[in-house]
Amino acid sequence: MDLLHTFEEDAFRDEARAWLAEHVPARPLPSLETREGFAAHRAWEARLHADRWSVVSWPREYGGRGVDIFKWLVFEEEYFAAGAPGRVSQNGINLLAPTLFDHATAEQRARVLPPMASGEVIWAQAWSEPESGSDLASLRSRAVRTDGGWLLSGQKTWSSRAAFADRAFGIFRTDPKAPKPHQGLTYLMFDLRADGVTIRPIGRLDGKPAFAEIFLDEVFVPDEDVVGEPGQGWRIAMSTTGNERGLTLRSPGRFLAAAQRLVQLWRTSGDPADTALRDRVADAVVGARAYQLFTYANASRFAAGSVIGAEASLNKVFWSDYDIALHETALDLLGADGELAQGEWAEGHVFSLAGPIYAGTNEIQRDIIAERLLGLPKGRR
């Protein structure tokens, strides 16, 4: 891996930095977990898209710039360093889109990707079910064959963005007689405003309502919205989860920027005599830098033609635990009122607490690391 940036990468960084300096809102947008904030962030996605900054690594025909993964990492570093808004479209562009590039038809990519890039269509991930979270293969929501498509029935839960999003993607049981739970599943996209869909928001710890349950009562989905072959949904879903835990969901730029803000907080609020807290600030900076280097190493392997397999679980465990430690350090710096204050650190702390749970619990990820990377015996389930 060559850690020196090329002239083209430096020029791309300068261009991105200049655009962000001119266009990032002077005041933070309302939380995207509220209706008002969701609309404001959708408008921000459209502004990014107008100058081809919303999906820089996508081919130009879908609204991107066609840059490689290293320039994508450069853009992410500049994006978060500029304090730009969170991405309301991340379920689509970071999870569904890579899956479509790998498994969808040309017609599906041409139909689905451009409105995703512009923010016209925002996607929710309809993954977990009431008794199928980490053990996703035990899901019970079904899709039954009908003329020209499928009828979806069942319940999905903990669906981020679902309260305000336009469409969703998930896997459904299409062959209940399949010999194993992860067989006989099909990957489908569906309209959250279709007949038979009921959305019920789930109140979060911070009171914001964007999480939701999705109830499906014979919701019609045309054949054109099946991704891959019917019955092959598990294999395709693993492609989605690999991206979720691996390179795209939590780029190092996010943590590099947060660690720098933590340093600034230490300089304004830290007690020089509190060396233990000072060391935690230093650990946060070291951790962000280590994650950056590990990500660049994975990117180099990816660019050379390798795939990111079980190593994605290393990423997921690291960034989810790191995010909590970073925010707890910030709250300790802020003192007794830290958790009560309304601001980025308190809100970020609440969000970080979910990290070890979503995208596959850390307990499951540690099993994967132990069994697939270290070759240790399987534990009791």
pLDDT confidence of residue 245: 62
Q: Which of 129, 244, 339, 344 is catalytic?
A: 244
Percent of the chain with pLDDT over 90: 65
User: Per the structure block, which two tokens stand in for 103?
Assistant: 């498994």
pLDDT band at 146 (very low <50, low <70, confident <90, very high): very high
List the domains of the chain with CATH numbers. Answer: 7-87 (1.10.540.10), 123-234 (2.40.110.10), 246-374 (1.20.140.10)
Distance, in Å, from the CA atom of 182 to the CA atom of 237, rounded to the nearest integer, reads 10
Cα separations in angstroms, 153 against 62, 172, 187: 32, 9, 14
How do residues 190-210 score in pLDDT, each as one tens digit? 999 999 999 999 887 777 777
pLDDT band at 5 (very low <50, low <70, confident <90, very high): confident
CB 288 within 8 A of CB 253: no
User: Of the given ranges (9-18, 22-31, 125-134), which has the lowest mean pLDDT?
Assistant: 125-134
Burial (0-12, 13-18, 19+ Cβ within 10 Å), 1: exposed
pLDDT confidence of residue 247: 59
Task: Name the packing angle between helices 311-334 and 344-352 (round to 10°).
Answer: 140
**pTM for the model:** 0.89
Residue 304 pLDDT > 90 = no
pLDDT confidence of residue 242: 66
CB 284 within 8 A of CB 329: yes
How do residues 310-356 score in pLDDT, each as one tens digit? 788 888 899 999 999 999 999 999 987 776 766 788 888 888 998 89
How do residues 276-285 score in pLDDT, each as one tens digit? 999 999 999 9
Among 85, 121, 80, 84, which Cα is nearest to 100's? Answer: 121
Q: Is 244 a catalytic residue?
A: yes
Task: Name the packing angle between helices 344-352 and 252-269 (round to 10°).
Answer: 130
Distance, in Å, from the CA atom of 205 to the CA atom of 102, rounded to the nearest integer, reads 36
pLDDT confidence of residue 319: 92
Residue 381 pLDDT > 60 = no
pLDDT confidence of residue 153: 98
pLDDT confidence of residue 19: 98
Distance, in Å, from the CA atom of 159 to the CA atom of 170, rounded to the nearest integer, reads 10
Three-state DSSP class for 115? helix
pLDDT confidence of residue 142: 96
